Amino acid sequence: MPADDRTSRLALPAPIVRQEFRRRLLAWYRKHGRDLPWRRTRNPYRILVSEIMLQQTQVDRVVPKYKQFLKKYPTLKALAAARVRDVIRIWYPLGYNIRPRRLHAIARESVAQYGGTLPNDEATLRSFKGIGAYTAGAVLSFAFGRRAAILDTNVARVMYRVFVGAGDPRSHALRRHLWKLSEGLLPRRHVFDFNQGLMDFGATVCTARRPQCRPCPLAHICRTGPIDGRLAGQRKK
């Protein structure tokens, strides 16, 4: 790839392109966004439970377990008071048992240090073992209404395909750039809907396999999408 092309792909899109991306994504989400139980709450604990459950686990498996878990442990204090083996038992069959262990540890630390509440700043949230950049951004955005970026697998795929389209998306340099894109695209308002829309769009339209490129509302600005019958994932010239 020529150096000037590489530079252009790793630059933030022009303001008019960013504005168009936000407008179209928000319009799509308001029409097609999924109705999920954790989207009906702004409770930081409930948001955290959903985010940890959703790690490497499909939404349809999480929904019934999310409801069951919160019925058993409705607050951080209730979770902190539980025995870890009981928490793991109710977590079954979601798997990855390090997740309920870490969630239980977060609950105990939050009770000991913060009176059973979650802090509302990124640095303190990320001081908890098990809360990384994405989870902290999700809690800040979805629970506290902060203008915080997120970058999970679905969001990274959308960012890469629409705005980059070349290079290894797993590389550290490109990953950093995708974070900058996510931050630079954040709207001043409607951040909750925007971030939820990014995740839904990646999960249902810009999917890893067989993306729905023809009806995609972002096709006209996408660097990789199939235009005029080209195959999905084939880079534009």
Residues with active-site annotation: 51
125 and 139 Cβ atoms separated by less than 8 Å: yes
**C-alpha–C-alpha distance, residues 179 and 149, integer Å:** 8
**C-alpha–C-alpha distance, residues 173 and 162, integer Å:** 17
Query: Strand, helix or coil at 137?
Result: helix
Nearest to 65 by CA among 106, 95, 35: 95
| Dihedral sign for Cα atoms in the order 208, 69, 126, 143 | positive
**Cα-based torsion angle of the residue sequence 181, 144, 56, 157 in order, rounded to the nearest 10 degrees:** -20
9 and 164 Cβ atoms separated by less than 8 Å: yes
**C-alpha–C-alpha distance, residues 58 and 60, integer Å:** 6
SS3 string of 135-192? Answer: HHHHHHHHCCCCCCCCCCHHHHHHHHHHHHCCCCCCCHHHHHHHHHHHHHHCCCCCHH
